[in-house]
């Protein structure tokens, strides 16, 4: 068979080969440099050191015991493991299905997180066909790493609107402890985890309104595309005010500019992992919670987990089992353990421990409309995929700039600027064009809180996986039905939960 002549000249072919070889060498160097971390005694890859292998009947062995077992080492799980093990009298065990992200360059370099999509580092989840979204299945990235989705998100720090937290308290309808979840009560925890770094580019941000001693570094560290600044200017032109800080008690309305710090990096530090009372097991896929139903009150007393090779293990909790496995796996583990809608559990031959019909129901995600435009400035982030010689050379330069200067396009978080607005703002949505009687009432946001997010990306994409645009340079404008982002509230809830558990254990 005769192959067609190559459209690339021999000289260009040599250049492409050299660029490709250089890129490969850089990636090898990155993996080497980020893989030299010293081992920590708390991180355990051999579960026989902390748990008992199941080899016969369930009552033929003794449990390995801990005071507190945390199921799931995601954003909140790492917070809990760190804070609870501050008490040297508590033996704490953290179980995580994934591995540590500390040696993973794609979980370290801010821009590269999408390169973990559809890999062993995430769960590769897809929804069922969405009847009101073209009946298509939607990809739902969920990290399978210590640190959870703090390794795989867009690194947006957004505390959220005070009104939304107050809605949490109101939804509990006066139940005991409801007011503890109001904004006023959670504000100290929002500041507890944060270490804000002031920026000379944003002198209007008041550091007194921010946390300054927490483990999570927050600041304006990332690369800013020229189009990002144009987006902020355009927002001001249509009536969305530029706000220096949307993370204070004043609220979230306005437009602002948004680095990755994972919860593993922030909370499972070498000092924390050196604690003799903390163990972290990676590759531990929790399959169920163990309950004691012999007494008048059913109690969670342990957990069962498997290793990638299929071996099963069990551990026992003397005081607390904390389930912190995320929005998808928390209800799954509950149902596998017999907690959930009884009819559904019986149909799968799962013994019912508690009939709770709401478990596994009402999962919702925000609706997004993506608009993509040709970028004629040459500042798009499309070079990350390295499809052309020009892109490969830009990628090599960007890797060098990031590795040796910690600057450049690889520090972008993709969603570089965000505007929060309300759908009933008459300046943006004139009643003559959007009659109030024909506008559906939004019940998902508190009064005065935003219900629409607009954000700019210096790269275009059609789907969450990103690599699906025609050749060329693009930027994107995106509209989201969203009141706020969840990373910051999750850190705060982890901090508060740790204090609540400590108080309960002290009282007991």
Q: Which residue ranges are tagged as binding site for FAD?
A: 286
d(CA 478, CA 482): 11
Paired sense of beta strands 417-421 and 452-457, if any? antiparallel
Single out the residue of 277, 263, 260, 280 nearest to residue 39, CA to CA.
Answer: 280
Sign for the CA dihedral angle at 392, 393, 394, 395 comes to positive
Residue with tokens 């990096």: 265
Question: Distance between CA 201 and CA 220 in Å, rounded?
Answer: 9
- Name the β-bridge partners of 313: 53, 305
The residue to which tokens 């600027």 are assigned: 417
Q: Which of 498, 426, 403, 431 is nearest to 30 (CA)?
A: 403
State the Cα–Cα distance between residues 341 and 364, nearest whole angstrom. Answer: 19
* 93 Cβ neighbours under 8 A, 6+ residues apart: 50, 66, 68, 69, 70, 278, 279, 280, 281, 315
Residues in the chain: 508
CB 51 within 8 A of CB 64: yes
The answer to whether 505 touches 90, Cβ cutoff 8 Å, is yes
**Cα separation, 145 vs 117, whole angstroms:** 12
Helix segments in 193-267, DSSP class H: 226-237, 263-267
Alpha helices (runs of H) in 86-214, residue ranges in sequence order: 162-171, 183-192
In 3D, which of 481, 231, 475 has the Cα closest to residue 368? 481
Residue ranges of the binding site: 286
- Tell me the residue ranges of DSSP E strands in 134-236: 139-140, 194-197, 216-219
Read off φ and ψ for residue 25, nearest 5 degrees.
-65, -40
How many CB atoms are located within 10 Å of the residue 4 CB? 5
Single out the residue of 301, 355, 255, 315 nearest to residue 94, CA to CA.
315
Closest CA to 271 of 40, 34, 443: 40
Q: What is the largest CA-CA distance in the chain?
A: 82
């Amino acid at each position: 068979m005769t192959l067609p002549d190559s459209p690339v000249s021999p000289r260009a072919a040599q250049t492409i080969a050299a660029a490709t070889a250089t890129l490969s060498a850089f990636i090898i160097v990155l993996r080497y440099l980020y893989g030299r971390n010293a081992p920590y005694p708390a991180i355990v890859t051999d579960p026989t050191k902390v748990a008992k292998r199941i080899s016969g009947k369930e009552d033929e062995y003794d449990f390995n015991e801990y005071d507190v077992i945390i199921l799931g080492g995601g954003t909140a799980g790492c917070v809990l493991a760190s804070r609870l093990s501050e008490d040297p009298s508590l033996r704490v065990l953290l179980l995580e299905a994934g591995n540590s992200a500390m040696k993973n360059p794609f979980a370290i370099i801010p821009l590269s997180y999408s390169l973990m999509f559809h890999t062993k580092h995430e769960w590769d989840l897809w929804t069922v066909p969405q009847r009101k979204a073209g009946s298509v299945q939607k990809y739902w990235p969920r990290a399978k790493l210590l640190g959870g989705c703090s390794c795989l998100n867009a690194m947006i720090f957004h505390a959220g609107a005070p009104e939304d937290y107050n809605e949490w308290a109101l939804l509990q309808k006066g139940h005991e402890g409801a007011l503890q979840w109001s904004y006023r009560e959670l504000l100290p925890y929002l500041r507890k985890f944060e270490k804000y770094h002031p920026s000379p580019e944003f002198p209007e941000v008041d550091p007194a309104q921010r946390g300054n001693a927490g483990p999570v570094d927050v600041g304006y560290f990332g690369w800013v595309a020229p189009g990002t600044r144009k987006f902020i200017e355009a927002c001001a032109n249509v009536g969305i005010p530029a706000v220096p800080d949307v993370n204070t008690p004043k609220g979230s309305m306005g437009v602002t500019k948004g680095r990755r710090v994972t919860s593993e990096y922030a909370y499972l530090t070498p000092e924390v992992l050196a604690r003799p009372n903390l163990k972290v097991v990676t590759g531990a896929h929790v399959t169920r919670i163990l309950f004691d139903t012999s007494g008048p009150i059913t109690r969670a007393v342990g957990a069962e987990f498997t290793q990638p090779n299929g071996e099963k293990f069990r551990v026992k909790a003397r005081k607390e089992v904390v389930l912190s496995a995320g929005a998808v796996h928390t209800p799954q583990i509950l149902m596998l353990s017999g907690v959930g809608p009884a009819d559904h559990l019986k149909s799968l031959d799962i013994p019912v421990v508690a009939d709770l019909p709401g478990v596994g129901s009402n999962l919702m995600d925000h609706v997004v409309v993506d608009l993509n435009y040709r970028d004629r400035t040459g500042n798009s982030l499309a070079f990350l995929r390295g499809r052309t010689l020009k892109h490969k050379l830009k990628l090599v330069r960007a890797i060098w700039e990031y590795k040796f200067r910690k600057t450049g396009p690889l520090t972008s978080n993709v969603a570089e600027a965000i505007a929060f607005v309300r759908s009933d703002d008459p300046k943006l949505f004139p009643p003559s064009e959007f009659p109030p009687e024909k506008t559906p009432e939004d019940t998902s946001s508190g009064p005065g809180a935003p219900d629409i997010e607009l954000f700019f990306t210096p790269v275009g994409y059609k789907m969450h996986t990103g690599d699906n645009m025609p050749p060329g340079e693009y930027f994107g404008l995106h509209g989201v039905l969203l009141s706020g982002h969840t990373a910051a509230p999750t850190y705060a809830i982890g901090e508060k939960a740790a204090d609540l558990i400590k108080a309960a254990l002290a009282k007991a």
